[in-house]
């Protein structure tokens, strides 16, 4: 095995980042979520107004002909792109904070996976990504927050898509193993070197242009709030595999 073929596994082995909020109780999480939600709401209101006015301004300059007018149009497009990026960052951060709050109900993990794959089917086709599934039809029903579990799985699928800029294969599997239900997302993309793999769950760490660095931390937070764990194995140049492990017992039993 070469140094590029070294497989690493990260499964709750790294302590939380120093930048990651560390409230100690469910009440602290609720308070933090409310404060962040209120702050984001106050920021998004003027940001939305700014976006709308930039869009209207762009319509006025859409048929620019003079060089000066065309330069102004390009500047407007830059500002629009930045406002959209800021909105995405705010939404990602809100999802990260609220991922600590779960409302478990009877949940079919296969159904969650199928809904996510239906949602990304068109995008995968455009990207030249072939989707394969191997979902165990005998999975036990789990106690989970279906909305958050769907968000966690979607984050992994989007991560897989971005790792295959030239197309490839996306494989989603599910099966039961002892007291756990497993969901696995595998891609045949670029993979990650060990130095990057060690940091992927750090809050705000991202190597993607415009990335917020909150997708994978949010996914791990969701999984761990269900009493589970998120594992990752990656081989540079060959692909990455994420595995969600969720216990079959009720998530509410392990909440603080």
Is the pLDDT score of 116 beyond 90? yes
Q: Does residue 11 lie in a domain region?
A: no
| Number of domains composing the chain | 2
CA distance 179 to 64: 64
Within 10 angstroms of residue 76's Cβ, the number of other Cβ atoms is 19
Q: Is the pLDDT of residue 121 over 80?
A: yes
pLDDT tens-place string over residues 6-53: 333 443 333 344 334 444 455 665 666 666 667 776 777 788 888 888
36: containing domain = 28-98
Label residue 114 exposed, middle or buried (CB < 10 Å: 0-12, 13-18, 19+): middle
Whole-angstrom CA distances from 31 to 100, 101, 239 are 11, 11, 39
Query: What pLDDT, in 10s, does the model give residues 170-212?
Result: 999 999 998 899 999 999 999 988 888 888 878 766 666 555 6
For residues 157 and 168, what is the distance between their CA atoms, to the nearest angstrom? 13
Residues in a beta bridge with 173: 134, 184
Query: φ, ψ for residue 20 (rounded to 5)?
Result: -80, 130
pLDDT at 112: 94
Widest distance between CA atoms in the chain = 69
For residue 42, what are its two tokens? 């106050």
Shared domain for 55 and 165, answered yes or no, is no
Same domain, 162 and 74: no
Same domain as 148, residue 175: yes
- Give the CATH number, domain containing residue 47: 1.10.287
| Boundary-marking domain end, from 55, 73, 98 | 98
């Amino acid at each position: 095995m070469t140094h590029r073929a070294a497989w690493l596994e990260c499964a709750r082995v790294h302590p939380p980042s120093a930048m990651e909020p560390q409230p100690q109780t469910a009440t602290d999480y609720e308070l933090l979520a409310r404060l962040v939600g209120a702050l984001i709401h106050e920021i998004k209101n003027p940001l939305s107004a700014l976006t709308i006015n930039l869009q209207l301004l762009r319509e006025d300059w859409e048929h620019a002909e003079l060089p000066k007018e065309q330069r102004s149009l390009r500047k407007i497009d830059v500002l629009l792109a930045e406002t959209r990026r800021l909105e995405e960052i705010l939404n990602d951060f809100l999802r990260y904070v609220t991922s600590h709050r779960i409302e478990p109900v009877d949940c079919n993990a296969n159904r969650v996976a199928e809904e996510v794959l239906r949602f990304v089917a068109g995008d995968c086709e455009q990207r030249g990504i072939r989707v394969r599934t191997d979902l165990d039809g005998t999975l036990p029903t789990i106690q989970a927050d279906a909305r958050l579990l769907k968000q966690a799985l979607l984050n992994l699928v989007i991560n897989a898509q971005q790792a295959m800029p030239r197309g490839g294969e996306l494989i989603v599997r599910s099966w039961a193993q002892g007291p756990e239900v497993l969901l696995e997302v595998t891609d045949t993309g670029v993979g990650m070197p060990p130095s990057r793999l060690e940091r992927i769950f750090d809050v705000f760490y991202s190597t993607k242009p415009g990335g917020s660095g909150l997708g994978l931390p949010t996914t791990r937070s969701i999984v761990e709030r269900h009493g589970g764990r998120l594992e990752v194995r990656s081989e540079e140049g060959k692909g990455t595999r994420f595995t969600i492990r969720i216990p079959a017992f009720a998530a509410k039993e392990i909440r603080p």
